[in-house]
Amino acid sequence: VIRYTDDLSEVRPDMLRGFFVGWPRHPSPAQHLAVLRGSYRAVIALDDTADADLIAGFVTMISDGVLTAFIPWLEVLPGYQDQGIGTELMRRVLAGTERFYSVDLVCDAELVPYYKRFGMLGTSGAVLRRPEALEKDTPL
Ligand SMILES: CC(C)(COP(=O)(O)OP(=O)(O)OC[C@H]1O[C@@H](n2cnc3c(N)ncnc32)[C@H](O)[C@@H]1OP(=O)(O)O)[C@@H](O)C(=O)NCCC(=O)NCCS
């Protein structure tokens, strides 16, 4: 019942419910949709069965289109996890990036083994975070 697509033309903000689990402050659905549309590439996993017109997972990639790419967001809704959806989203977003020198992402240390499945390497990094950039939203 899960359909994967990079076509965002039919996506509405209300289909982006329930993401950013555990975030004290998180993007509004409208800001979330703008992130998807502004990305170099975005893939969504749609559950469009009659009673559940929603997005079960998404991944985004930003890139210079020449040598480097970054994967800022990957999330699968709790009720849809452990069914291979994250794996398929990663597979699809990485497809065609073989010419890039680097494809990077930042994750918790416990998730490094997960990303090693896609040929990625654990490393260290440094980040800037500005929670005030996230639009305030009603609780999930
Ligand atoms: C991480 C995430 C995207 C994986 O998506 P998914 O559809 O559940 O993953 P898959 O079904 O493809 O793979 C499941 C595997 O991931 C592992 N996994 C999931 N979350 C994990 C975590 N936090 N730490 C370690 N392993 C994790 C599972 O143990 C499982 O391993 P197995 O195949 O050996 O049983 C999903 O759990 C999620 O959205 N988590 C919350 C948000 C998040 O952490 N996003 C990543 C930001 S870098």
**Among 63, 60, 68, residue whose Cα is nearest residue 27:** 60
pLDDT digits over 96-106, tens only?
A: 999 999 999 99
Q: Rounded to the nearest 5°, which phi and psi values hold at 75?
A: -150, 140
**Å from CA of 52 to ligand 1 middle:** 22
pLDDT at res. 137: 61
pLDDT at res. 140: 47
Site to probe by mutation for ligand 1, drawn from 76, 80, 87, 115 as the one with most ligand atoms within 8 Å of Cβ, is 76
pLDDT at res. 139: 52
The tokens 């929603």 sit on which residue? Answer: 54
HSE-up of 75 (CA within 13 Å, CB side)?
A: 15
Closest C-alpha residue for ligand 1 atom 10: 84
Distance CA(96)–CA(80), nearest Å, equals 26
Q: Give me the percent of the chain exceeding a pLDDT of 90.
A: 90
Are 73 and 58 spatial neighbours (Cβ–Cβ below 8 Å)? yes
**Among 62, 61, 79, 70, residue whose Cα is nearest residue 21:** 79
Type of residue numbered 77: L
Low-confidence ranges of the chain (pLDDT < 70): 136-140
**Å from CA of 73 to ligand 1 middle:** 13
pLDDT at res. 51: 75
pLDDT digits over 109-129, tens only?
A: 999 999 999 999 999 999 999
pLDDT at res. 132: 92
